[in-house]
Structure 1
Amino acid sequence: MSTNEATVQWLGRREEFEYADSVAGYTLVAVRLLVGYWFLHSAWGKFAFVAGEPFNAAGYLQNAQSPIAGLFEVVAGTPWLLEVTNVMIPVGEFLIGLGLILGALVRLAAFFGGVLMVLFYLGNADWANGYVNGDLLGFVMFVLIGVFAAGRILGVDAYLEETEFVRRRPRLRYLLG
Protein backbone atom coordinates (compact mmCIF):
# COMPACT_ATOMS: atom_id res chain seq x y z
CA MET A 1 0.00 0.00 0.00
CA SER A 2 1.50 3.32 -1.03
CA THR A 3 1.08 6.49 0.95
CA ASN A 4 0.91 10.12 0.03
CA GLU A 5 1.74 13.15 2.10
CA ALA A 6 -0.53 16.11 2.48
CA THR A 7 -0.14 19.44 4.18
CA VAL A 8 -2.74 21.55 5.90
CA GLN A 9 -2.64 24.88 7.72
CA TRP A 10 -4.22 24.28 11.10
CA LEU A 11 -4.54 27.05 13.68
CA GLY A 12 -1.55 28.87 12.23
CA ARG A 13 0.65 25.77 12.11
CA ARG A 14 1.62 23.74 9.10
CA GLU A 15 0.75 20.10 9.68
CA GLU A 16 1.83 17.21 7.48
CA PHE A 17 0.20 13.82 7.46
CA GLU A 18 0.25 10.64 5.41
CA TYR A 19 -2.73 8.90 3.93
CA ALA A 20 -3.07 5.63 2.04
CA ASP A 21 -3.83 6.69 -1.52
CA SER A 22 -4.82 3.21 -2.63
CA VAL A 23 -7.62 3.15 -0.06
CA ALA A 24 -8.58 6.84 -0.01
CA GLY A 25 -10.16 6.85 -3.47
CA TYR A 26 -12.21 3.74 -2.84
CA THR A 27 -13.35 5.10 0.51
CA LEU A 28 -14.39 8.41 -1.00
CA VAL A 29 -16.35 6.71 -3.80
CA ALA A 30 -18.00 4.39 -1.25
CA VAL A 31 -19.07 7.34 0.92
CA ARG A 32 -20.39 9.19 -2.15
CA LEU A 33 -22.39 6.16 -3.30
CA LEU A 34 -23.77 5.38 0.15
CA VAL A 35 -24.91 8.95 0.79
CA GLY A 36 -26.33 9.09 -2.74
CA TYR A 37 -28.29 5.90 -2.15
CA TRP A 38 -29.47 7.21 1.24
CA PHE A 39 -30.93 10.36 -0.36
CA LEU A 40 -32.30 8.61 -3.43
CA HIS A 41 -34.03 6.03 -1.24
CA SER A 42 -35.41 8.68 1.09
CA ALA A 43 -36.83 10.64 -1.85
CA TRP A 44 -38.29 7.60 -3.54
CA GLY A 45 -40.56 6.83 -0.59
CA LYS A 46 -41.93 10.38 -0.64
CA PHE A 47 -43.17 10.35 -4.24
CA ALA A 48 -46.96 10.03 -4.50
CA PHE A 49 -46.81 7.21 -7.06
CA VAL A 50 -44.83 5.15 -4.53
CA ALA A 51 -46.28 6.33 -1.21
CA GLY A 52 -49.88 6.40 -2.46
CA GLU A 53 -50.38 9.99 -1.36
CA PRO A 54 -48.52 13.26 -1.89
CA PHE A 55 -45.71 14.19 0.48
CA ASN A 56 -46.83 16.75 3.05
CA ALA A 57 -44.39 18.41 5.45
CA ALA A 58 -47.05 20.51 7.21
CA GLY A 59 -47.35 18.34 10.32
CA TYR A 60 -43.60 18.19 10.79
CA LEU A 61 -43.18 21.91 10.23
CA GLN A 62 -46.03 22.91 12.56
CA ASN A 63 -44.88 20.69 15.42
CA ALA A 64 -41.12 21.23 15.28
CA GLN A 65 -39.64 22.08 18.66
CA SER A 66 -36.43 23.59 17.45
CA PRO A 67 -34.32 26.73 17.25
CA ILE A 68 -35.84 27.45 13.81
CA ALA A 69 -39.46 26.65 14.71
CA GLY A 70 -40.48 30.20 13.75
CA LEU A 71 -39.20 29.69 10.21
CA PHE A 72 -40.99 26.36 9.98
CA GLU A 73 -44.25 27.93 11.19
CA VAL A 74 -44.01 30.61 8.49
CA VAL A 75 -43.45 27.95 5.81
CA ALA A 76 -46.32 25.79 7.13
CA GLY A 77 -48.64 28.79 7.37
CA THR A 78 -47.93 30.15 3.88
CA PRO A 79 -49.71 27.93 1.34
CA TRP A 80 -47.39 28.57 -1.60
CA LEU A 81 -44.25 28.09 0.53
CA LEU A 82 -45.63 24.85 1.90
CA GLU A 83 -46.41 23.64 -1.62
CA VAL A 84 -42.89 24.53 -2.81
CA THR A 85 -41.48 22.67 0.21
CA ASN A 86 -43.68 19.64 -0.45
CA VAL A 87 -42.33 19.43 -4.00
CA MET A 88 -38.72 20.42 -3.35
CA ILE A 89 -37.96 18.02 -0.49
CA PRO A 90 -38.54 14.80 -2.48
CA VAL A 91 -37.33 16.27 -5.80
CA GLY A 92 -34.28 17.83 -4.14
CA GLU A 93 -33.40 14.63 -2.28
CA PHE A 94 -33.81 12.64 -5.50
CA LEU A 95 -31.59 14.98 -7.55
CA ILE A 96 -28.95 15.11 -4.81
CA GLY A 97 -28.92 11.31 -4.56
CA LEU A 98 -28.81 10.85 -8.32
CA GLY A 99 -26.01 13.40 -8.67
CA LEU A 100 -23.93 11.64 -6.04
CA ILE A 101 -24.48 8.19 -7.49
CA LEU A 102 -23.58 9.34 -11.00
CA GLY A 103 -20.79 11.57 -9.74
CA ALA A 104 -22.33 14.50 -11.61
CA LEU A 105 -22.36 18.07 -10.25
CA VAL A 106 -21.18 16.56 -6.98
CA ARG A 107 -20.12 19.75 -5.25
CA LEU A 108 -23.44 21.37 -6.09
CA ALA A 109 -25.28 18.29 -4.82
CA ALA A 110 -23.12 18.23 -1.68
CA PHE A 111 -23.86 21.89 -1.00
CA PHE A 112 -27.62 21.44 -1.22
CA GLY A 113 -27.43 18.15 0.67
CA GLY A 114 -25.55 19.98 3.41
CA VAL A 115 -28.20 22.71 3.50
CA LEU A 116 -30.93 20.08 3.88
CA MET A 117 -29.00 18.29 6.61
CA VAL A 118 -28.57 21.55 8.57
CA LEU A 119 -32.32 22.19 8.28
CA PHE A 120 -33.08 18.62 9.34
CA TYR A 121 -30.58 18.85 12.21
CA LEU A 122 -32.04 22.10 13.52
CA GLY A 123 -35.58 20.97 12.77
CA ASN A 124 -35.28 17.71 14.67
CA ALA A 125 -33.35 19.21 17.57
CA ASP A 126 -33.64 15.99 19.56
CA TRP A 127 -30.49 16.49 21.53
CA ALA A 128 -31.50 14.55 24.67
CA ASN A 129 -28.60 12.16 24.00
CA GLY A 130 -26.15 14.85 22.92
CA TYR A 131 -25.66 17.07 19.92
CA VAL A 132 -24.21 14.38 17.68
CA ASN A 133 -26.90 12.53 15.74
CA GLY A 134 -27.51 11.12 12.27
CA ASP A 135 -28.41 14.50 10.80
CA LEU A 136 -25.15 16.04 11.95
CA LEU A 137 -23.18 13.06 10.64
CA GLY A 138 -25.01 13.35 7.32
CA PHE A 139 -23.93 17.00 7.14
CA VAL A 140 -20.32 15.94 7.80
CA MET A 141 -20.55 13.36 4.99
CA PHE A 142 -21.71 16.05 2.55
CA VAL A 143 -18.85 18.32 3.63
CA LEU A 144 -16.33 15.53 3.01
CA ILE A 145 -17.83 14.70 -0.38
CA GLY A 146 -17.70 18.34 -1.46
CA VAL A 147 -14.29 19.20 -0.04
CA PHE A 148 -12.60 16.17 -1.56
CA ALA A 149 -14.38 16.55 -4.92
CA ALA A 150 -15.66 12.99 -4.85
CA GLY A 151 -17.14 13.21 -8.35
CA ARG A 152 -13.66 13.31 -9.86
CA ILE A 153 -13.16 9.67 -8.95
CA LEU A 154 -15.24 7.27 -11.06
CA GLY A 155 -17.80 9.99 -11.72
CA VAL A 156 -19.24 11.97 -14.59
CA ASP A 157 -17.56 15.11 -13.24
CA ALA A 158 -14.13 13.71 -14.19
CA TYR A 159 -15.26 13.69 -17.83
CA LEU A 160 -17.07 17.02 -17.67
CA GLU A 161 -13.99 18.78 -16.32
CA GLU A 162 -12.02 17.66 -19.37
CA THR A 163 -14.45 19.23 -21.82
CA GLU A 164 -13.56 22.41 -23.67
CA PHE A 165 -16.70 24.04 -22.28
CA VAL A 166 -15.51 23.67 -18.68
CA ARG A 167 -11.88 24.47 -19.54
CA ARG A 168 -13.02 27.82 -20.94
CA ARG A 169 -15.11 28.42 -17.80
CA PRO A 170 -12.91 27.27 -14.91
CA ARG A 171 -15.35 28.56 -12.30
CA LEU A 172 -17.66 25.69 -13.24
CA ARG A 173 -15.21 23.39 -11.47
CA TYR A 174 -16.62 24.73 -8.19
CA LEU A 175 -19.87 22.94 -9.04
CA LEU A 176 -18.18 19.80 -10.30
CA GLY A 177 -15.95 17.30 -8.60
Structure 2
Amino acid sequence: MATQNKRTTTKLFGRGVSYGTSGQWNSYWLLFLRLVMGWWFFSSGLSKIVEYGVLYDAHGWMMFGTEGTIVYPITAWFAANAVWLPNLLIPWGQLLIGLGLIVGCLTRLAAANGAVLMFFFYFGNAEWGNGFVNGDLFGLLLFLTIIVFAAGRVWGIDAYLEGTNYVKNRPKLRYILG
Protein backbone atom coordinates (compact mmCIF):
# COMPACT_ATOMS: atom_id res chain seq x y z
CA MET A 1 0.00 0.00 0.00
CA ALA A 2 1.45 3.34 -1.01
CA THR A 3 1.43 6.15 1.49
CA GLN A 4 0.23 9.45 0.13
CA ASN A 5 2.10 12.43 1.48
CA LYS A 6 0.20 15.63 0.92
CA ARG A 7 0.80 19.17 1.98
CA THR A 8 -2.02 21.19 3.41
CA THR A 9 -1.68 24.93 3.05
CA THR A 10 -4.01 27.42 4.71
CA LYS A 11 -4.08 30.73 6.53
CA LEU A 12 -4.16 30.88 10.31
CA PHE A 13 -4.51 34.28 11.96
CA GLY A 14 -3.56 35.94 8.69
CA ARG A 15 -0.33 33.97 8.16
CA GLY A 16 0.30 31.14 5.76
CA VAL A 17 0.66 27.70 7.35
CA SER A 18 1.73 24.51 5.60
CA TYR A 19 2.14 21.03 7.01
CA GLY A 20 2.53 17.53 5.66
CA THR A 21 -0.02 14.79 6.17
CA SER A 22 0.08 11.07 5.58
CA GLY A 23 -3.23 9.67 4.38
CA GLN A 24 -2.49 6.20 5.71
CA TRP A 25 -1.59 7.28 9.24
CA ASN A 26 -4.45 9.77 9.36
CA SER A 27 -6.84 6.95 8.45
CA TYR A 28 -5.47 4.63 11.13
CA TRP A 29 -5.68 7.39 13.71
CA LEU A 30 -9.27 8.33 12.81
CA LEU A 31 -10.34 4.69 12.94
CA PHE A 32 -8.65 4.22 16.31
CA LEU A 33 -10.17 7.43 17.68
CA ARG A 34 -13.66 6.52 16.46
CA LEU A 35 -13.46 3.02 17.95
CA VAL A 36 -12.15 4.22 21.32
CA MET A 37 -14.77 6.96 21.62
CA GLY A 38 -17.44 4.52 20.47
CA TRP A 39 -16.44 1.93 23.05
CA TRP A 40 -16.30 4.59 25.78
CA PHE A 41 -19.88 5.70 25.14
CA PHE A 42 -21.26 2.24 24.29
CA SER A 43 -19.92 0.71 27.51
CA SER A 44 -21.00 3.72 29.57
CA GLY A 45 -24.56 3.56 28.23
CA LEU A 46 -24.71 -0.22 28.51
CA SER A 47 -23.53 -0.19 32.13
CA LYS A 48 -26.24 2.36 33.03
CA ILE A 49 -28.92 0.28 31.29
CA VAL A 50 -27.77 -2.96 32.94
CA GLU A 51 -27.44 -1.38 36.39
CA TYR A 52 -30.55 0.82 36.41
CA GLY A 53 -32.73 -0.42 33.53
CA VAL A 54 -35.64 1.95 33.07
CA LEU A 55 -35.00 3.38 36.53
CA TYR A 56 -32.00 5.51 35.54
CA ASP A 57 -32.46 8.88 37.22
CA ALA A 58 -30.49 12.01 36.30
CA HIS A 59 -32.75 14.27 38.39
CA GLY A 60 -30.27 14.75 41.25
CA TRP A 61 -27.37 15.67 38.98
CA MET A 62 -29.51 17.99 36.85
CA MET A 63 -31.06 19.78 39.81
CA PHE A 64 -28.23 19.87 42.33
CA GLY A 65 -25.03 18.74 40.60
CA THR A 66 -25.16 21.51 38.03
CA GLU A 67 -26.26 24.28 40.38
CA GLY A 68 -24.25 27.44 39.77
CA THR A 69 -23.12 26.45 36.26
CA ILE A 70 -24.02 27.94 32.90
CA VAL A 71 -26.17 24.92 32.01
CA TYR A 72 -28.16 25.01 35.26
CA PRO A 73 -31.18 26.86 33.82
CA ILE A 74 -31.55 24.15 31.17
CA THR A 75 -30.93 21.18 33.46
CA ALA A 76 -33.17 22.60 36.19
CA TRP A 77 -35.99 23.06 33.68
CA PHE A 78 -35.66 19.47 32.50
CA ALA A 79 -35.45 18.23 36.11
CA ALA A 80 -38.70 20.04 36.97
CA ASN A 81 -40.68 19.51 33.76
CA ALA A 82 -39.38 16.66 31.60
CA VAL A 83 -36.92 14.57 33.61
CA TRP A 84 -38.03 11.49 31.66
CA LEU A 85 -36.21 12.80 28.56
CA PRO A 86 -32.67 12.96 30.01
CA ASN A 87 -33.37 9.74 31.92
CA LEU A 88 -33.99 8.12 28.54
CA LEU A 89 -31.44 9.99 26.44
CA ILE A 90 -28.40 9.69 28.67
CA PRO A 91 -28.11 5.87 28.89
CA TRP A 92 -29.76 4.99 25.57
CA GLY A 93 -28.17 7.96 23.82
CA GLN A 94 -24.73 6.91 25.02
CA LEU A 95 -25.38 3.34 23.89
CA LEU A 96 -26.55 4.38 20.41
CA ILE A 97 -23.84 7.03 19.99
CA GLY A 98 -21.23 4.40 20.85
CA LEU A 99 -22.73 1.82 18.52
CA GLY A 100 -22.89 4.35 15.67
CA LEU A 101 -19.24 5.24 16.16
CA ILE A 102 -18.08 1.63 16.43
CA VAL A 103 -19.72 0.58 13.17
CA GLY A 104 -19.18 3.96 11.51
CA CYS A 105 -22.84 4.57 10.71
CA LEU A 106 -24.27 8.11 10.84
CA THR A 107 -20.94 8.99 12.38
CA ARG A 108 -21.24 12.76 12.29
CA LEU A 109 -24.75 12.62 13.73
CA ALA A 110 -23.58 10.28 16.49
CA ALA A 111 -20.53 12.42 17.26
CA ALA A 112 -22.64 15.60 17.28
CA ASN A 113 -24.96 14.04 19.86
CA GLY A 114 -21.94 12.87 21.84
CA ALA A 115 -20.59 16.43 21.74
CA VAL A 116 -23.90 17.76 23.08
CA LEU A 117 -23.78 15.31 26.00
CA MET A 118 -20.13 16.14 26.68
CA PHE A 119 -20.99 19.87 26.60
CA PHE A 120 -23.50 19.33 29.39
CA PHE A 121 -21.17 17.03 31.32
CA TYR A 122 -18.30 19.51 31.01
CA PHE A 123 -20.15 22.75 31.68
CA GLY A 124 -22.37 21.06 34.26
CA ASN A 125 -19.34 20.35 36.43
CA ALA A 126 -20.18 22.73 39.28
CA GLU A 127 -17.04 22.50 41.35
CA TRP A 128 -14.41 21.85 38.67
CA GLY A 129 -12.84 19.43 41.12
CA ASN A 130 -10.57 18.06 38.41
CA GLY A 131 -9.75 21.48 36.98
CA PHE A 132 -10.87 23.17 33.80
CA VAL A 133 -8.93 20.76 31.62
CA ASN A 134 -10.40 17.35 32.35
CA GLY A 135 -11.71 14.22 30.70
CA ASP A 136 -15.05 15.80 29.82
CA LEU A 137 -13.32 18.57 27.88
CA PHE A 138 -11.17 16.04 26.04
CA GLY A 139 -14.25 13.97 25.22
CA LEU A 140 -15.92 17.07 23.78
CA LEU A 141 -12.83 17.90 21.71
CA LEU A 142 -12.51 14.34 20.41
CA PHE A 143 -16.15 14.23 19.33
CA LEU A 144 -15.61 17.51 17.47
CA THR A 145 -12.53 16.00 15.81
CA ILE A 146 -14.57 13.01 14.63
CA ILE A 147 -17.13 15.40 13.13
CA VAL A 148 -14.58 17.61 11.38
CA PHE A 149 -12.55 14.77 9.85
CA ALA A 150 -15.54 12.57 8.90
CA ALA A 151 -14.12 9.52 10.66
CA GLY A 152 -16.96 7.26 9.48
CA ARG A 153 -15.49 7.24 5.98
CA VAL A 154 -12.61 5.11 7.27
CA TRP A 155 -13.71 1.49 7.55
CA GLY A 156 -17.27 2.47 8.37
CA ILE A 157 -20.73 1.87 7.01
CA ASP A 158 -20.85 5.56 6.04
CA ALA A 159 -18.20 4.95 3.36
CA TYR A 160 -20.54 2.42 1.74
CA LEU A 161 -23.64 4.60 2.18
CA GLU A 162 -21.98 7.63 0.58
CA GLY A 163 -21.34 5.54 -2.54
CA THR A 164 -25.03 4.70 -3.01
CA ASN A 165 -27.18 6.51 -5.55
CA TYR A 166 -29.60 7.47 -2.78
CA VAL A 167 -26.97 9.57 -1.00
CA LYS A 168 -25.40 10.80 -4.24
CA ASN A 169 -28.81 12.17 -5.27
CA ARG A 170 -29.23 13.80 -1.83
CA PRO A 171 -25.85 15.41 -1.09
CA LYS A 172 -27.09 17.03 2.13
CA LEU A 173 -27.18 13.56 3.71
CA ARG A 174 -23.37 13.61 3.68
CA TYR A 175 -23.52 16.14 6.54
CA ILE A 176 -24.74 13.44 8.95
CA LEU A 177 -22.65 10.65 7.43
CA GLY A 178 -18.88 10.34 7.47
Query: Do these two structures clear the TM 0.5 threshold for a shared fold by scoring above it?
Result: yes
Superposed displacement of residue 128, structure 1: 4.5
AA aligned opposite 1:153:
V
Cα distance in 2 for residues equivalent to 1:14 and 1:7: 7
Match of 1:8 in 2: 10
For structure 1, list consecutive stretches of 5 or more residues without a partner in the other structure: none
Q: How does 1:20-169 map to 2 (within 5 A)?
A: 20-47=22-49, 50-53=50-53, 54-64=55-65, 65=67, 66-78=69-81, 81-169=82-170
3-state SS of paired residue (1:130): coil
Segment drifting more, 55-64 vs 4-13 = 4-13
CA 1:15–1:125 in 2, change beyond 3 Å: closer, same or farther?
Answer: farther
Alpha-carbon distance in 2 for matches of 1:8, 1:107: 24
Summarize the Cα distance change of 1:44–1:22 in structure 2 as closer, same or farther, 3 Å threshold.
Answer: same
- Matched residue of 1:101: which SS? helix
Structure 1 runs of 4+ with >6 Å offset: none
**Does the 8 Å CA contact 1:99/1:105 hold for their aligned counterparts?**
yes
Contact 1:3 1:19 in 2 (8 A): yes
Structure 1 residues 55, 149: closer, same or farther in 2, change over 3 A? same
Give the distance between the partners of 2:166 and 2:77, measured in 1 at CA.
42
Give the letter for the 1:127 counterpart: W
SS at match of 2:16: strand
Corresponding residue pairs, total: 173
Contact persistence 1:67–1:125 (CA under 8 A): no
CA contact (8 A) 1:118 1:139 kept: yes
Contact 1:2 1:22 in 2 (8 A): yes
Shift of 1:19: 2.1
CA contact (8 A) 1:32 1:101 kept: yes
% identity of equivalent residues: 43
The unaligned stretches of length 5 or more in structure 2 are none
RMSD: 1.5
